[in-house]
Amino acid sequence: MGTNIPGLGQKLKLLKRDSPYRTTKALAFKLGVSVSTLNGYANESSKSTAGFMPEKRLSILISLFEQALPVTLPTEEVRALVLGDAAALEAALRVGEKILLEDILKREARRDTGTIWRDQKLKLVRHEGTGADGLPTLKLNEPFRLEFDVGKKGFLLALQNVAQTWAVVRFADGEISPRAKSGMLHLPGKKRDKPVYMYEEDSTGIHRFGLFVSPLPFPLSVVQAAQGEKSLDWNLLCELARHFDAQHRHLRELHMIEINFIR
């Protein structure tokens, strides 16, 4: 039957709110169960008893709360919070509350400043190849580049997101976070005054490309992760969000384009 977790349904909602796994599907995948099984943990079903979770899944759940909590606590304390009162767990999640990148994206990302160009003929994807969901559509391995109308000067950082993975997009000259003036910004950039194109090799589905503009340099930890070709984990994303949120509103900018990649 597993371990009894009082208020498990409420606690799962808290985890979706305060972690990168903001949908039931994403959380179920991380726990290694189906959506129906996860729903069964919170609500009585033919396969599980509400409020009970196998110890193997509970261990994963505890590790996810460890990542979501704004302060580092011993695993034993996190386990006690997970098995205790839901109100106490929520209060712990609120202490020194982390600033979430997703919240900043929803609040500030401008979606009217970017243009997608494909191949050397400079055909606007915005005007052709649009899917039923209204998003621009590109095929895997199809060359494209992005252009943003940036209104402020500052340090740049470009990110690509697909599913739960975030990674830094290097500029054409190899820079991770160059300093630039306002105006039309090309991503990945130009070489010898000619636009450089990029392409997606592997992952179909919706990709988000975000361009951050900050008056101050971005956190060294984020830059170092990019230098090591590493994706940004939950803590790095929170650090980036905290840095960006701390900049004066009139000196920072955030631009976003979404693209649906198909085979």
**DSSP SS3 for 44:** coil
Alpha-carbon torsion 180, 191, 168, 120, what sign? positive
Spell out the per-residue pLDDT of the chain, length 263, in tens: 689 999 999 999 999 988 889 899 999 999 999 999 999 888 755 455 668 899 999 999 999 999 988 878 889 989 999 998 888 888 888 776 667 898 899 999 999 999 999 876 545 444 344 555 678 999 999 999 999 999 999 999 999 999 889 999 999 999 999 999 999 999 999 888 888 999 999 999 999 999 999 999 999 999 999 999 889 988 889 889 989 998 999 999 999 999 999 98
**Distance between CA atoms of residues 63 and 235, nearest Å:** 14
What DSSP character marks residue 228?
T
pTM of the model as a whole: 0.67
- What class does CATH assign to 102-262? mainly beta
Domain-by-domain residue ranges, the chain? 3-97, 102-262
